[in-house]
Amino acid sequence: MGNRLSLLQAAERGKIDEAKLALERGELVDTKDGNGWTPLLFAAREGHEGKVRLLLHYDATPDLPDSRGMTAMMWAAFHGHVNLVRILLSNHADMNVENKDGQTALKIAEAEGHQEVVDCLME
């Protein structure tokens, strides 16, 4: 019992089974750490498609930003995770949200040279 990971820990470490157990225990899907990071933000940054799908299934808010205004879509775009961008778009993530620097996911993908993400966002 004491060895169970919290949802945030499971998300940060990429442990989908532990994340599912935490959600089944009733942990809040949009819980934030001290930097405003949610499990969905961790999963999107790391490219964990299965965990992103799981969290969205449990009604994670796709546009909830971290303390810098970065959303899951922005982190996926920053790291070139085009499949995650597609998943987030299909779950009503807003690609036009701006972070605190005034950047959208499209601007971030362009700046990082992720053409496949740029093309996906331009469709």
Residues 6+ apart with CB under 8 A from 2: none
d(CA 26, CA 122): 37
Q: What does the pLDDT look like over 28-77, one tens digit per residue?
A: 999 999 889 999 999 999 999 999 999 999 999 999 999 999 999 999 99
pLDDT higher for 2 or 120? 120
pLDDT higher for 20 or 90? 90
CATH 3.40.50.920: does it fit domain 7-122? no
The pTM of the full predicted model, rounded to 2 decimals, is 0.90
Predicted pLDDT of residue 12: 79
Predicted pLDDT of residue 101: 98
Least confident of 19-28, 45-54, 92-101: 19-28
In the chain, domain spans:
7-122
d(CA 62, CA 71): 7
Please count the other Cβ atoms lying within 10 Å of the Cβ belonging to residue 62: 21
**CB-based contact 122:113 (threshold 8 Å):** no
Residue whose token pair is 């499990």? 39
Amino acid letter for position 46:
E
CA 119 to each of CA 64, 73, 108, 110: distance values in angstroms, whole numbers, following the listed order = 24, 14, 13, 10
